[in-house]
Structure formats: C-alpha cells, structure tokens
C-alpha cells in the first residue's frame, strides 16, 4: 500500500522505514532536504514540497503528518486540505490535543476529506519493536488503512494472551492497534496513556528515592543500609508485582550510571500530561497521583518557588524562625 | 500563685514575664546563667540548679519545663521525677510527641507525681497577646493550675462570641485554653493544630505563586498581568473568606519585601507536621493536603532529588529525551 | 451616584441595599418581578426590562450585572452591548472565567463601551460587613466608579494596620477593594482567592477528621481520646496560628451540630477552584494542595469510583484478595 | 537441602511445594492439621508441633516462618528461639515491619542464632513462576541457604538481559533474589516495592477512571466517546510505555468483567504501604504519589468523611450553600 509521510524526524523517518521493510511504498517530504535524501536512498520516493507529495500519490490518497503538535502540524494540515481531493485521508500521528482533532475532523469533512488521529507510542524503539497505536476516525477509513497499521504495529509477538478475552473481540488490539472511536478519540486515549505513564514513573522515582536516602550519610549509622539499587531494580524484573517496561529501563539506567550523575533531574513535561489533568477536571475525576506527578516535574525545574519563600516569610512572622540555606 | 520554670529561651522567658505581669511568682532556672540573671532583675527568683528550684517552691509544687522536645526535655523530667514529692506537678510546655506524654504520665503516676502536657501556640507574640493552650492531664490538677493558665491565655478579648455556643460549655475555651483530656491529649491537639497550619500556609504559598508567575516575563505579553501582591494580601484582609492571621503575616511580609528576596525558601519542618501524618495513617484518615504541605517543605530544601534524576533517566531510555538544565 | 443592577438574587439584591444605605441611587431589574417589587419598596427604581433600565440611567451609565456565570451573564452583556452608548460601563460582578472577561473587554471596547470585572467576596455577610472586591478594567473608569466601590467595601474597620505598609500605597486596598489591572485581572485574583479558600478549608477538614477519628470506637480503647471538637475550634480562635474566619465558621458549626449530622458531605465545587488548577498548569506552578482540595470534593460526591474497583480487581488478580464491603 | 516450614497457608504451602518439586526436603507444621495432612501426602514430613519440627531437622537447621506479621510471627519466633541451637537459622518470609527484624536479629544473635528476613513477592502465581525475594541477614548464612532461594526464585527465564549490567555483578539478582544487606533490609526493600506497587496501581486506576467517565451519560453527548476499555488495556500491552504486569492483570479483569461490577471498590491496605510513607517521612523524602495512593484506599472504604461534612458546614456558613445529596 502507498503512504505519503510529512516529517522525517526520529518518529516519521522510522515509520517510513518500518513500512518499507514490510513491503509498503512511501512518498516522503521534510523541510530538511537531508532527511529526504537519506530516506530516498533507503527506497522511499522523496519529494520537494507538498504539491509534489500529493501529485506522487494515487487517489484515494493517505498522508501521514508526523510533526510537532501545534502550529507545524496545524499549518501543514491546512495546506494539505487545499491540495487534496474528496476521499483522501489526512493522518495526524503527532501529539495533538484531542479537541483540535475534533475541530479538524469537522472542518475537513466539509471538504469531503477524512481525518484520522493516531496516538503513537513506541519512541526510539518503534522501528524494531513496532508502534502501539490508538486511532480515531471513521471506521471504514481505518479499515481501508488496516494494512499500514498492521505493518507498523508490534503484532501478537510472544506476549501471553489475555485470559478470558472474547474470541469475538476486535483482534487488532492484540496486534497492537485499536480503532478507539471518532476523530479525537485516538489522541484522547494516547493522552491518558501518557498521564498514566507520568504516574508510574513518579511511583518508581519516589520509591528509589527512599532506597537511595536510606543509604545516605545524613542518617544515623545504625539506621542506614547499603542497598544496591541496580540489583534491586534487576530482581524486581523477575516475578514481582512492579515488573514493567519502565522498570526494565530503570535497571538499564542504574546498570550504566548507578548514581544517575548524567541526568540533570530538571524533568520536562509535554502537553499530554497537562491535558490529562484538564480532562479529569472537566469530568470531575479525582486524580491525585496523575496531578502530583505533573507537579513534581514542574517543581524539578526550579531552584526554589515564590511559594517556598512565602512559607519562610510566614514562619519568620509568627515564630521568628530564620531558615537555614538549601543544602 | 507560684510556678517553677525550667528553660528561659524565647518561650520560657516570656511565659515567666507574662505570669509576673499578672501577679504570679516564678522560680526560674536555665543552663545559661545570663538568662537567669536577666529574669531575676525582672522579678523572678533565679536558681542555680534543679535541686535549688525544687527547694525554692512550696508543696504541692508545679514546675513548667520549656525545653526542646526530645533528650533535653526527657532528661530534665527524669531528674525532676527524682527530686519532686508526691502531689507535685510537672508541666511539659514544649513540643513533645504525645505518645511520650502518655508514657511519662504513667511512669510519674507510679511515684505519685502529676504530669501535664501543654501544647502552646503563640510564638513571639505570646507575651503581648497571650498563649493559646491545649492541656492534657488530670482534670483536678488542671483546675488547681487554672490561675496560671488563665494568666497566660489571651482571654476573651474583642473576638466576637461564637453564635450558638452553649452557655454551659466550658468557658476556658473562650478565654484561650482547654483541658483536652488525659496526658498526651494536649500535645495531640497542638500537633493537629500545626498540621492544619502547614496546610493553610501551603494554600497561601501556592496561590501567591500563581499570582506571582502570572506577572512573569516567561509568559507571552498578552497573557501577563502586573498584579500588586501586597495590595492583594491587604484587600483580602477585609471581608474575604481567606482572612486569617496567616494572611495578616503575609501582608506584613509583602509590605516589607514584595519579592521576598530576604527568604531562602528552604523551609524547615518540625515534629508536629510529621506526627500529624503518622496519626492520620494510624487512624486511616486521608490527608492529601496535610501531607502535600509537609512534602513541599522536604522538597524545598533540596536542589534536585534522586527521583527527579531517575525520571530523566527513564525519559532518555524510552524516548531519547535529554533534559535541559534547570533554570 | 447612580447604578443600574441586573440580577437581584442574594448577591445582587444586597448590593443594591448596601448602596442605597450609603445614599446611592439604584435602577434595578430581574426576570423575577417579585424581586424587583421588593427592592422597589426599599427605595430602588424597579424596571421591567433592559431597555427600561438603560432609559432610566443618565449617561455615562454604569450597569452592574450580577448573574450566574456562563450563558445568563454572557447573553445579558451581549444585549446590553446593543443598548448602551459609548462611554457607558458594564460591570460583571459574577464569577466569570477571566479569559471571557478579556475577550468581552476587547469586543465592547470596539463599541466604545467600558468593561469592568469585579471579583466579589462576602457571600451572605456582605450586606452587613461589606464586600471585598478585586476589580479589572481601565484605571480611569475604576476611578469614576470609586464612590460605588467605596460604599460596597468593608472599609478600614477595626482591623489592625499592616506594619510597614507604604504610606504611598494605594489606600483602596485598606478600604477593601483594589484595581488589579486590565479586564480579567479582577476575576483572576478572585479565582485564586477561591483556590486558596479550597485549600484552607481542606486543611481544616483533614485536621478535624483526625481529631474526630481519634475519638472513634474503632480505635483500641487505650489509644482513644474523648476530644471536644467544639472547644478545640473555640480555643484556636484565640492566639493560635490558624485563627481565621473559616475557623470562626467551624466553631459556629460545631457549636450548633457537633456531629455535623445536618450536612451531606457531598461537597460542590465551582468554576474558580477548577480554573485555578488550569492557570497553575498553564504557568507550570506546582499546586499539590489546591488540586488535592478540588479532588477531595470530586471524590466526596461519589459512592465509589471506577478506579477504586480497578484497584480491587488488580488485587484479586495478583494476590487473590477479596475486598470486604464498605463500612 | 532440608527446610522446616511453619505456616502452610497459600504462601507457605506453595513454598513447600516449589521446594519439593526442585528436589528439596521439607518438614512442615501448621496449627491447621488438615494443611499438614495435605502436604504430607505431597511428600513433606508433617509434624504436630514446634518441638517435633526442630527434632525433625538436622543441625544446622533452617526454619522458614510464613505467618501473618505481628503477634503470630512474633510469638512463633520467640518460641523457636528457645528450641533451636546455636548456628541454626530462623527465616521470616512474611510481611514483617523491618524495625522488628532489626530488633529480632539482635536478640537472636545473643543466643548464637541467625535471623534472615525475606520479602517475598509472587502471590498466587509463585508456585508456577517462582518468588521474587529480597533477603536481609548475614552474607554467609544467605550463601548457605542459596540452594533453597535458587529453587524458589523464578530464575533467568526468557526475560531480556539488562544492557550494560556488569559481568561481575551478583548474578543472584538475575535469577530472582538478592541479598540486600543486614537483618531488616530484605523487608525494607520489599516494603518499598509495595509502596511503588500502590503508586502504579493508582496511576492505572485514575487513568481508567478518566476513560470510563469520558463514556458517561453525564457528559454532553457531543463531548462523549464510547471507548472500549478492555481493548485499550489490551493494546497498551504491546509496545507502549505503560506495559507491565499490572496492565496484564487489568486486561484480564476487563476481559472478564468490563464494568468491574464484581468488585466493591473498598480497597484494603497493608502495613507496607503505610510504613513506606513513615520511612519517607523519617528520611525527609517527598512522596506525593505514594501517599496519595494510600489515602485513596483509606477514602475508598468510607461513605463520607467527617472532613467532607465540615466542608459542607463551612460552605453553608459563609455562603448559605446547601449541598445536594450524593449521587
């Protein structure tokens, strides 16, 4: 099957590669001509602009946009909307806010164009392992693109089957992608995925922080242990309740750099983590863990907050307390 | 009435002063002989050691220990237990853990000694305004000491009476002290007081942090305000739902130092905040706000946590993300 | 001075009354003709519709809209925008989202109309005590309306002056209102006020919950106290760090109904609490306390969550644990 | 090798079985004679009391106590301490508080007895998959028992090796158990494991709660999706960042009972989750996620809290708000 791909960064480039490996044809574009040249050598049809990309595809066309969320994606889709013909499909594989998907789906539908949003998990490992995809859009259009999604997804692999899963359930979930619902639902599910990811990461972060500080010189000697954090991560990978891919990555990191000195600890966050809290608030769902995880990241990027200083000021006010400087 | 006082720091010294102002007699001791000399000039009977203090009091004696919680208080009370006679009273006015009070009450009762724990709020303002006291111990002994507590407490003042408060209710609460229950209950109530205090302080800290960052250069100009935080604290003091002593102190601090540059923001915490969470956990009470307030203080004292670094390490592991340094 | 008032519910009606008490003139309208009739008897000029209200005012007019946020306010302001003349002022005293204020301010400015947003705190007590007001809009227009705001505000009263407050600072803050900045800033500051209010309330709620459960039969007898919660609230009102209006209200409630049996505990929340978290997230401010307070309210309105059931399901899955029913 | 086992419930019984499967000899005791009889039929040597158990083992003996933490374990170990001889080993495989281990290790050392604490993860799956074990005690004694631990552990299995793990690192971690350090350290590490487990579980619980309520009738129809939660859990098992054993269990549960109607949602908690927070507080580690997870369980077991009612009472006090009943 044929797919146009716009945006050949780490994600878009590897999506093209995985599709070609599975025998699909790609027509590719990126502002950066080096990226286009590289993929052309690997078998893709490189083009110089969007009109050429549209011209290089056979109707009904499918174009996968894999660009940073916000203006880059929005502008590209607007331009594609002018170039494509009724029946063509625009796929947004980036990290778009799901309400933008809903709006775009409605706008493009008025031109007879289909809009598909794909929440894509897999990061740097996707080329090799496949991408886990959550897809929003018309059922029929998703069905039309099934061969592409199947090629990108990890497939059944050697993961044990879920006990009691109904034989009539949609088998796409077991192969690594789902049709979640109408436009926006794919990115909605991916957004929640990332929210959960933040929470799980923070659970590990807090737990290992307690293990680490149990070794600390600041504790009285008779209350201190000398725990090997790398061994702990390793042993939990086998038969424990917390075994998970994030634990595997933790074991990797601790094997290489047990003190984690290579990492700044100023932790970035992206839209999904924030929008998850927003969705929870819209739906009146209590999410103390997901929000705490986001706030821990906000806090990690600051030396001290104005709020902390106000606490010091109040303590001075009522008790004459003068804080000692930060260690 | 006569009271022995051990520990003449900021709290103990002012307690002696306030009692003398109200016509009571004090016999005072501190390791620091300067403190003793100063109070002697102000009318107290200064003594050189604990035996002299006991000798200087008429039975049944009452001795107020106003020392740092832990070893200083524990050792002093142990020694007093050997010096005093049945019927005498030891009062611990410090910040003792309530379970230590319960144990001490039982130990001293075996010698015929009474033990009274007094949770004391008032800080640097107590001399002038009086101390709010929460008292644990035998009802009869508290009654015997009523004149002292009454002198130390703020009194009715010009605070509006609580609507519907029963005319048969214990009027000591309105005068600024209560008999909470058996030994330990005074410090228990004071402990919860401090837990609530942490939560209220953190609520203000977070709110003013949002106000402050709404002024920040890092926001796009058209989303920025230029809010006067001092005026905001001031106006909330009048008729708003958040009016409180902590808000008064906030207004004070912001009037003097609007940017709070004088404060490190490395916020100390004391036993009460921690024990409050422990009590909540023992009683299975969900306390997200009180615990978050404590954790914000823990976090405020660190540049970055090992947990934050682990988050960075995991993000690098699954997405190749490299964090930018802290601002 | 003359003011048109639309919306004569608890807030709007009392605003009219307080203004008339201070010698101002009001022209009033409400869909509910009973409300209009009542206020007319008290001295207001009642009118039957918006055109009549506009006709009853002398240019430059000032019209205070005191309606539920959202459609009722939006529709009324849209209609007023058509009826009023350049130079007239629309005041929104409700609980509007500040981004709506910014938009409205821009739309009305194009017609030469002024827009003022007033965050109003005071609730059922405002008539007697005055309203604490946070005001957004053009400085000159706020100045023009100063007599009205001054009449509505609590005034200096007998609240102690803030130490070190600059003699050149805007004295309106001390009289109970501020000009916070351009349109939207009034409601922004009020929004944060309510966010802080949630946090303070939750701090008290958690603290009193620990006190209450320390009395509970479910604890072993030797770990139980018999604390008088009403006395505790009362004593904290005198000289303690947590003294505050919310504590006064707590003491009121506990004096009347110590077990709080009259209250459902299904706690409502309004837009401000939610928008505060949204603003914090936009500005990357960690707000664990303010968010926890909101989530506690969400949780309070549910019997059990789907998330709780999923926890039970996972526990059954890995450990065969069967949960006992809720008590 | 030979092992005495006391306590033949789900955990102890299967530990005996797994050891026998791997060729080890067991001498077993339980108060419940049926349990003893059953295991005897499976090849164990059943005994009628502790003296018989001790008599049935060859010195130096090893006895594994697998009983509920607290009194049952404490009393049994006390009795064993009287029956065993210098050089013998007591193993506590239960969920003991690590400070109790430290104390016991010291007490038993005075009699020449060794004490080993084993934090054991594996639950109902351990017989088949093996147990992940975190072990505290003398290095030499752990080495002596290596054959037993190796038999109980999951072994290398087909889990991918951790990249960069040092070839000189202790290979026991890869086989599924570690020697964490001195007595207490095994249960300390297991305690943190459970703390992290609570956090990860709550992250999933909150995320799926948002997905579930996005389907809810209470949302406006145009903001609602119709998400298939079972398919979402299933697809995340393949290539996503949140893939984990807990997600596998979630997929299992949702395949069987998508609405989770079989679960009460009144979620129990055990000592480890509580002690984790206590340890964090002792070490001044901020743990908002681990604590929120514990508090969500506390909250899940109550209809409403006294704190919630106090919020309602305050809202009535300042605003006249009357709460609607819980849905």
Q: C197 catalytic, yes or no?
A: yes
- Quote the pLDDT of residue B322: 87
In this complex, how many residue pairs, one in chain C and one in chain D, have their CB atoms less than 8 Å apart?
Answer: 222
Helix (H) or strand (E) holding D27: strand D25-29
Give the count of alpha carbons within 13 A of C128, CB side only. 4
Question: 3-state DSSP call for residue A297?
Answer: helix
C320 shares contact with chain A (CB less than 8 Å):
no
Query: In which residue are the tokens 């320390």 written?
Result: C214
Among positive and negative, which fits the CA dihedral B181, B184, B186, B190? negative
Q: Which residues of C are less than 8 Å from D206 in CB distance? A: 307
The verdict on a CB contact (< 8 Å) between A239 and D200 is: no
- Quote the pLDDT of residue D124: 79
Q: Which residues of C are less than 8 Å from A296 in CB distance? A: 286
Q: Which residues of B are less than 8 Å from A317 in CB distance? A: 249-250, 252-253
Per-residue pLDDT of chain D (327 residues; tens, 9 = 90+): 999 999 999 999 999 999 999 999 999 999 999 999 999 999 999 999 999 999 999 999 999 999 999 999 999 999 999 999 999 999 999 999 999 999 999 999 999 999 999 999 987 788 999 999 999 999 999 999 999 999 999 999 889 999 899 999 999 999 999 999 999 999 999 999 999 999 999 999 999 999 999 999 889 999 999 999 999 999 999 989 999 999 999 999 999 999 999 998 999 999 999 999 999 999 999 999 999 999 999 999 999 899 999 999 999 999 888 887 765
Q: Phi and psi at residue C121, in whole multiples of 5°?
A: -110, 145
CA A146 distance to own-chain centroid: 21
Residues 6 or more apart whose Cβ sits within 8 Å of residue B3: B19, B24, B25, B26, B27, B62, B63, B64, B148
- Quote the pLDDT of residue C186: 98
Angle (deg, nearest 10), helices C288-300 and C185-214: 70
C270 shares contact with chain A (CB less than 8 Å):
no
Q: C234 catalytic, yes or no?
A: no
Q: Phi and psi at residue B40, in whole multiples of 5°?
A: -60, -45
The verdict on a CB contact (< 8 Å) between B284 and D277 is: no
Catalytic residue among C197, C234, C259, C327: C197
The verdict on a CB contact (< 8 Å) between C214 and B153 is: no
Interface of D with C in 87-146 (CB under 8 A): 123-125
The verdict on a CB contact (< 8 Å) between C295 and A287 is: yes
Helix (H) or strand (E) holding A102: helix A98-109
Q: Phi and psi at residue C274, in whole multiples of 5°?
A: -70, -45
The verdict on a CB contact (< 8 Å) between D205 and C305 is: yes
Residue-wise over D7-24: b if at least 16 C-beta within 10 A, else e?
bbeebbbbbbbbbbeeeb
Alpha-carbon gap: A299 to the closest alpha carbon of chain D (Å) = 12
Q: What average pLDDT does chain D have?
A: 96
- Contact between D15 and D126 under an 8 Å Cβ cutoff? The reply is yes
Instruction: Give the pLDDT confidence of A87-133 residue by residue, as tens digits.
Output: 999 999 999 999 999 999 999 999 999 999 999 998 778 899 999 99
**Helical residues (DSSP H) of B215-319, grouped into ranges:** 229-236, 245-256, 271-282, 288-300, 306-319
The verdict on a CB contact (< 8 Å) between B305 and D294 is: no
D292 shares contact with chain B (CB less than 8 Å):
yes
Full-model pTM: 0.96
Instruction: Give the pLDDT confidence of B193-232 residue by residue, as tens digits.
Output: 999 999 999 999 999 999 999 999 989 999 999 999 999 9
B292 shares contact with chain D (CB less than 8 Å):
yes
- Quote the pLDDT of residue D253: 95
- Checking D168-176 for CB contacts under 8 A at 24+ apart, the result is D169/A230, D169/A231, D169/A234, D169/A255, D170/A228, D170/A231, D172/A235, D172/D146, D173/A230, D173/A231, D173/A232, D173/A234, D173/A235, D174/A234, D174/A238, D175/A238, D175/D150, D176/A235, D176/A238, D176/A239, D176/D130, D176/D131, D176/D132, D176/D133
CB count, 10 Å around CB of C115?
26
CA D28 to each of CA B151, D50, D114: distance values in angstroms, whole numbers, following the listed order: 69, 9, 20
B286 shares contact with chain A (CB less than 8 Å):
no
* pLDDT tier, B327 (very low <50, low <70, confident <90, very high otherwise): low
Beta bridge partners of B62: B89
Instruction: Give the pLDDT confidence of A147-157 residue by residue, as tens digits.
Output: 999 999 999 98
Which position has the higher pLDDT, A251 or B320? A251
- Quote the pLDDT of residue B60: 97
Q: Which residues of D are less than 8 Å from B286 in CB distance? A: 295-296, 298-299, 305
- Quote the pLDDT of residue D327: 58
- Quote the pLDDT of residue A326: 67
The verdict on a CB contact (< 8 Å) between A318 and C241 is: yes
**Helical residues (DSSP H) of C145-266, grouped into ranges:** 146-152, 172-175, 185-214, 229-236, 245-256
Per-residue pLDDT of chain C (327 residues; tens, 9 = 90+): 999 999 999 999 999 999 999 999 999 999 999 999 999 999 999 999 999 999 999 999 999 999 999 999 999 999 999 999 999 999 999 999 999 999 999 999 999 999 999 999 987 788 999 999 999 999 999 999 999 999 999 999 889 999 899 999 999 999 999 999 999 999 999 999 999 999 999 999 999 999 999 999 989 999 999 999 999 999 999 989 999 999 999 999 999 999 999 998 999 999 999 999 999 999 999 999 999 999 999 999 999 899 999 999 999 999 888 887 765
**Helical residues (DSSP H) of C215-319, grouped into ranges:** 229-236, 245-256, 271-282, 288-300, 306-319
Question: 3-state DSSP call for residue D241?
Answer: coil
- Quote the pLDDT of residue A319: 86
- Quote the pLDDT of residue A327: 58
Residues 6 or more apart whose Cβ sits within 8 Å of residue A46: A28, A29, A36, A37, A39, A40
The verdict on a CB contact (< 8 Å) between C123 and D299 is: no
Facing C205 at nearest CB: one of D206, D300, D310: D310
Catalytic residue among A41, A82, A99, A190: A190
Residue A18 reports pLDDT greater than 70: yes
Pairing type for strands B114-121 and B132-136 reads antiparallel
**DSSP readout, B58-91?**
PSSPEEEE---TTHHHHHHHHHHHHH--TT-EEE
- Quote the pLDDT of residue C124: 79
Residues D182, D179: Cα–Cα separation, whole Å? 9
Alpha-carbon gap: A320 to the closest alpha carbon of chain B (Å) = 7
Alpha-carbon gap: C174 to the closest alpha carbon of chain B (Å) = 6
Tokens representing D175 are: 């086989």
Q: D110: buried, middle or exposed (CB in 10 Å: 19+, 13-18, 0-12)?
A: exposed
Alpha-carbon gap: D266 to the closest alpha carbon of chain C (Å) = 5
Residue A25 reports pLDDT greater than 80: yes
Query: In which residue are the tokens 């331009």 written?
Result: A79
Among positive and negative, which fits the CA dihedral C91, C95, C101, C103? negative
Angle (deg, nearest 10), helices B245-256 and B229-236: 150
To the nearest whole percent, how much of chain A has pLDDT over 70?
99
Torsion angle of C-alpha atoms A225, A230, A232, A238, degrees rounded to 10: -170
Tokens representing D186 are: 């095994």
Return the closest-CA partner of residue B239 out of C252, C125, D313: C125
Alpha-carbon gap: A203 to the closest alpha carbon of chain B (Å) = 9
- Quote the pLDDT of residue B326: 66
Residues D151, D131: Cα–Cα separation, whole Å? 9
Q: Phi and psi at residue D63, in whole multiples of 5°?
A: -125, 125
Instruction: Give the pLDDT confidence of B83-112 residue by residue, as tens digits.
Output: 999 999 999 999 999 999 999 999 999 999
Residues A308, B300: Cα–Cα separation, whole Å? 7
Helix (H) or strand (E) holding C2: strand C2-6
- Quote the pLDDT of residue D326: 66
Instruction: Give the pLDDT confidence of A262-317 residue by residue, as tens digits.
Output: 998 999 999 999 999 999 999 999 999 999 999 999 999 999 899 999 999 999 99
To the nearest whole percent, how much of chain B has pLDDT over 70?
99
- Quote the pLDDT of residue B42: 97
Residues A197, B315: Cα–Cα separation, whole Å? 10
- Contact between B26 and B15 under an 8 Å Cβ cutoff? The reply is no
- Nearest chain D residue to B297 by CA: give it: D286
Residue A325 reports pLDDT greater than 90: no
Q: What average pLDDT does chain B have?
A: 96
């Amino acid at each position: 099957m044929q797919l146009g791909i716009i945006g050949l960064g780490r994600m878009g480039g590897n999506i093209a590669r995985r599709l070609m490996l599975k025998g699909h044809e790609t027509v590719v574009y990126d502002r950066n001509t080096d990226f286009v040249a590289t993929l052309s050598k690997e078998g893709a049809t490189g083009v110089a602009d969007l009109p050429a990309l549209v011209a290089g595809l056979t109707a009904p066309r499918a174009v996968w946009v894999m660009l940073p969320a916000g203006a880059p994606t929005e502008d590209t889709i607007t331009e594609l909307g002018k170039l494509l013909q009724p029946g063509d499909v625009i796929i947004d594989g980036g990290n778009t806010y799901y309400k933008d998907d809903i709006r775009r789906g409605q706008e493009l539908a008025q031109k007879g164009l289909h809009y598909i949003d794909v929440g894509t998990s897999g990061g740097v490992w996707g080329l090799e392992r496949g991408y886990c995809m959550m897809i929003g859009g018309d059922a029929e259009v998703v069905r039309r693109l099934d061969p592409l999604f199947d090629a990108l997804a990890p497939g059944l692999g050697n993961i044990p089957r879920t006990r009691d899963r109904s034989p009539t359930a949609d088998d796409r979930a077991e192969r690594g992608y789902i049709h979640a619902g109408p436009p926006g639902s794919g990115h909605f599910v991916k957004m929640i995925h990332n929210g959960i990811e933040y929470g799980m990461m923070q659970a590990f972060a807090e737990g290992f922080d307690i293990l680490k500080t149990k070794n600390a010189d600041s504790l009285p000697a008779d209350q201190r242990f000398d725990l090997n954090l790398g061994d702990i991560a390793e042993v939990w990978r086998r038969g424990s309740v917390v075994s998970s891919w994030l634990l595997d990555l933790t074991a990797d990191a601790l094997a290489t750099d047990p003190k984690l000195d290579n990492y700044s600890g100023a932790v970035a966050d992206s839209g999904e983590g924030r929008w998850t809290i927003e969705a929870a608030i819209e739906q009146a769902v209590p999410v103390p863990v997901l929000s705490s995880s986001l706030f821990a990241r906000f806090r990690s990027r600051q030396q001290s907050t104005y709020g902390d200083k106000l606490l010091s000021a109040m303590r001075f006010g009522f008790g004459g307390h003068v804080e000692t400087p930060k260690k």
